[in-house]
Amino acid sequence: MLYPQESETRDVKDLSGIWKFKLDGVGRGLAEQWYKAPLADPIDMPVPSSFNEITPDKAIRDHVGEVWYERHLFVSDRLQGQRVCLRFGSAEHTATVWVNGTEVAHHVGGFLPFEADISDIANFGGNNRITVMVNNVLTWDTLPTGYIQTYDDTNHPEGFRIQQHQFDFYNYAGLNRQVLLTSTPKTYIEDILIRTDRDGKAGIVHYSLDIAADAKSFSAKVSLFDEDAQLVAASTGTEGSMTISNVRLWKPGNAYLYEAVVEVLDESGSLVDIYRLSLGVRSVKVTETQFLINDEPFYFQGCCKHEDMDVKGRGFDHAMLLKDFYLMEWIGANSTRTSHYPYSEEFMQLCDRKGIVVIDEVQAVGMRCEEDSTQTYNDTHISSRTLAHHKKLMAELIKRDKNHPCVVMWNIANEPIVNEKKAGEYFAEVAATTRELDPTRPVSLVTGDVVKPEECYPFEYIDVMCINRYHSWYSDPGHTELIEMQIVNELTPWHEKWHKPLIVSEYGTDTIAGMHALPAVMFTEEYQCEALEAFHRGFDRLPFMIGEHVWNFADFATKQGVKRVVGNKKGVFTRQRQPKAAAFLLRKRWAKL
């Protein structure tokens, strides 16, 4: 799915602003057809933003179920005859959209974009009512997974229910990314697939175009420009290859981007549609002990992140986006993982431009059934329905992110239960689907489970092992002196079993900024530094390690619980993006690596 863009033939209107909003306390809006008329007694709500923390109302913050958004939109007469769409960057987690009372889209799966074609029903030259119902409920059939807990006792009022889930970030919901009104001609470039190769000093760019056509005859032309706007190659047709002699490669920390200008022309040679796509030429390969980008060994260094901030929750914000990039640059990060869901398209574009390498993770998180002893992979928990949804989300993610040079690997899940045989069968299928959709990138899976390597069944089907470890935190609390030995003793057998390279994809300690102790104790800044240093001594002894991602870039919100003090405090920056002592330590280490 192409990112919306303005061009000679396309328009984009940003619908960010204040929308109307209404909580659907007991879920009667659909039955009462709230989409048929303006919402009764709405309040104001910003878009994009999570709705949870905008008001002081606990009922809104903790709401489980449906919420409704509405706004009026003037659609210009000029757009008559165009393909006019509403495009949602992300609605968490399920959304239904109506325009003037008619349903135009339904999408399951937050974090990924979807659009609604309103060309045939929009009131051109007049006002239109957009109504969106967003549901934040997670079930065993959705990703992330979750379930609704209800109570049948005298300690809870009738109807009391909570959303249970086995993941460690706040279930912020709503219209979290921009909503846009887009228009293209009816014959338009629907999708572009770019794959790149190298041949000596030359770069080869293979392309294939999907053109949605309402006219039978058209021709396509692709021109490739370098960063100085010089034409370096060109081709015609909906499929082809172009050669760039003396190619400038896209490299980590040194990104070079070409621009493909794709044009569709009618029989008389007049322009019908035009789209400009940034692309980078680079290769990715995995050996038993190395991750090669452009045939050079690459070591992943950086932090995992979250889309998380005060007030807006997971709401998209340009200022925070850039703040985080400047801090990633300052700390010396060359990579990140989109833990635990696809990040905004704007984030991916910046990674392309700044040369930040990305492990792109789908929202397969919380895949654990720990409330009883039942197996996780069965028909009542993680079932064939979850698997079908998982594959659909992989397809949507790959469709969205396939052309980003920054994306070097697809991560198909974070910390699912791995030691059931059925986990092997489940992830064999997800990995196969992923490879079928994109044979050019390796596949990884993250485990945090301390099991015997041979009992991590999904690892048979992936290319890179990602392992999360919290020595001296969740195990042996207080004993940082054990970390180096445990890392070496524990990780070596994983490589001996699987002969695949390994990234420690999470390690860290909760740390309250400004808390100090000597000797160090848990939760102090000294303890975080001591632990990270000990991990690093271990990592430096393991030749099959290809990366270290600290958990986490910044403190972030979680659900409330006895293990969390106003959220997860494992950030090396605070939630307001101020450095803890560990940030300086990492900056020093990563400058040297």
Q: Which is catalytic among the residues 53, 70, 307, 415?
A: 415
In the complex with ligand GCB, which residue's Cβ is closer, 345 or 415?
Answer: 415
Nearest to 593 by CA among 328, 299, 255: 299
Binding residues for ligand GCB, rule CB under 6 A, total 10
570 interacts with ligand GCB by CB under 6 A: yes
CB of 313 to ligand GCB, least distance (A): 16
Chain positions 335 to 374 lying near ligand GCB, rule: CB under 6 A, are: 340
**Binding pattern for the stretch 231-250 against ligand GCB, x by CB under 6 A and - elsewhere:** --------------------
CB of 215 to ligand GCB, least distance (A): 50
In the complex with ligand GCB, which residue's Cβ is closer, 284 or 367?
Answer: 367
Interhelix angle 384-401/421-437, nearest 10 degrees: 30
**Binding pattern for the stretch 492-531 against ligand GCB, x by CB under 6 A and - elsewhere:** --------------x-------------------------
Quote the strand ranges of 267-383, DSSP E: 271-279, 284-286, 291-293, 296-297, 300-303, 335-337, 357-361
Q: How far apart are CA 581 and CA 585, in angstroms?
A: 7
CB of 430 to ligand GCB, least distance (A): 18
CB of 523 to ligand GCB, least distance (A): 13
**What does the CA dihedral 244, 246, 247, 249 come to, rounded to 10 degrees?**
170
CA distances from 325 to 337, 355, 547 (A): 14, 11, 20
66 interacts with ligand GCB by CB under 6 A: no
Chain positions 150 to 179 lying near ligand GCB, rule: CB under 6 A, are: 168
SS3 sequence, 35-55?
HHCCCCCCEEEEECCCCCCCC
Closest-by-Cβ residue to ligand GCB is 168
414 interacts with ligand GCB by CB under 6 A: yes
87 interacts with ligand GCB by CB under 6 A: no
Q: How far apart are CA 5 and CA 156, in angstroms?
A: 51
Asked if residues 205 and 260 have their Cβ atoms less than 8 Å apart, the reply is yes
In the complex with ligand GCB, which residue's Cβ is closer, 184 or 528?
Answer: 528
Is 307 catalytic? The answer is no
Q: How far apart are CA 485 and CA 505, in angstroms?
A: 18
Q: How would you class 509 by CB atoms within 10 Å of its CB: exposed for 0-12, middle for 13-18, buried for 19 or more?
A: buried
Task: Give DSSP secondary structure letters for 520-537.
Answer: --TBSHHHHHHHHHHHHH
179 DSSP β-pair partners: 88
Quote the strand ranges of 427-491, DSSP E: 443-447, 464-468
Q: How far apart are CA 107 and CA 97, in angstroms?
A: 9
CA distances from 420 to 376, 445, 466 (A): 8, 15, 18
**Which residue among 65, 240, 332, 448 contacts ligand GCB (CB under 6 A)?**
448
CB of 468 to ligand GCB, least distance (A): 4
Work out the number of other CB atoms within 10 angstroms of the CB of residue 353.
15
Chain positions 262 to 281 lying near ligand GCB, rule: CB under 6 A, are: none
Q: How many CA atoms lie within 13 A of 36 on its CB side?
A: 5
CB of 572 to ligand GCB, least distance (A): 13
Q: How far apart are CA 394 and CA 437, in angstroms?
A: 9
**Binding pattern for the stretch 535-564 against ligand GCB, x by CB under 6 A and - elsewhere:** ----------------x-------------
CA dihedral (257, 258, 259, 263) positive or negative: negative
CB of 569 to ligand GCB, least distance (A): 9
CB of 552 to ligand GCB, least distance (A): 7
Is 227 catalytic? The answer is no
In the complex with ligand GCB, which residue's Cβ is closer, 269 or 561?
Answer: 561
415 interacts with ligand GCB by CB under 6 A: yes
CB of 90 to ligand GCB, least distance (A): 19
Contacts of 417 (CB under 8 A, 6+ apart): 367, 368, 369, 376, 377, 423, 449
CB of 140 to ligand GCB, least distance (A): 19
Q: How far apart are CA 87 and CA 266, in angstroms?
A: 27
In the complex with ligand GCB, which residue's Cβ is closer, 277 or 466?
Answer: 466
* Structure tokens, 376: 């996780």
In the complex with ligand GCB, which residue's Cβ is closer, 133 or 503?
Answer: 503
In the complex with ligand GCB, which residue's Cβ is closer, 255 or 423?
Answer: 423
Contacts of 439 (CB under 8 A, 6+ apart): none
Q: How would you class 194 by CB atoms within 10 Å of its CB: exposed for 0-12, middle for 13-18, buried for 19 or more?
A: buried
Asked if residues 220 and 262 have their Cβ atoms less than 8 Å apart, the reply is yes
Chain positions 44 to 63 lying near ligand GCB, rule: CB under 6 A, are: none
**Which residue among 96, 136, 468, 472 contacts ligand GCB (CB under 6 A)?**
468
In the complex with ligand GCB, which residue's Cβ is closer, 61 or 165?
Answer: 165
Q: Which is catalytic among the residues 92, 396, 420, 506?
A: 506
In the complex with ligand GCB, which residue's Cβ is closer, 173 or 264?
Answer: 173
In the complex with ligand GCB, which residue's Cβ is closer, 294 or 419?
Answer: 419
Chain positions 7 to 36 lying near ligand GCB, rule: CB under 6 A, are: none
Active centre residues (catalytic): 415, 506
By the criterion CB under 6 A, which residues form the site for ligand GCB?
Answer: 168, 340, 414-415, 448, 468, 506, 551, 568, 570
